[in-house]
Amino acid sequence: MYLAVKNVKPESNYNLLLTFENGEQRRFDMNPYLSLGIFQELKDITLFNSVRINFDTIEWDNEADLDPEILYTDSIAI
């Protein structure tokens, strides 16, 4: 079972501050993804900053998204 993302805030250096449904806040580093497929477009900081909640995860204006389980397991608790 995974935790849904309830809030997302873009930060500097292509990091995301995520709040999950259990109230936990975690930081996710997008840098490893910025050389992969559709995520390359997120190097445009305006597009990167367009991140928002969609159902239980996040997405950007270019329709890129990430699985909430990946967001949780590959992020760092803060």
Mean of the per-residue pLDDT values of the chain: 97
Q: In the chain, what percentage of residues exceed pLDDT 90? A: 97
Structure tokens at 53: 């909640």
Which amino acid is present at 72? Y
DSSP H or E run through 41: none
The structure tokens 């190097």 sit at 43
DSSP 44: S
d(CA 60, CA 78): 23
Instruction: Give the pLDDT confidence score for residue 4 in this predicted structure.
Output: 98
- Average pLDDT on 17-26 reads 98
Residue whose C-alpha is closest to residue 30's, from 38, 19, 42: 42
Q: Could you give the number of structural domains in the chain?
A: 1
Q: Once rounded to an integer, what is the mean pLDDT over residues 31-42?
A: 98
Query: What does the pLDDT read at residue 1?
Result: 74
The pTM score is 0.95
| CATH classification at residue 22 | 3.30.2020
Per the structure block, which two tokens stand in for 13? 């250096």
Find the domain containing 21 and state its range: 5-55+64-77
Rounded to an integer, the average pLDDT of 53-76 is 98
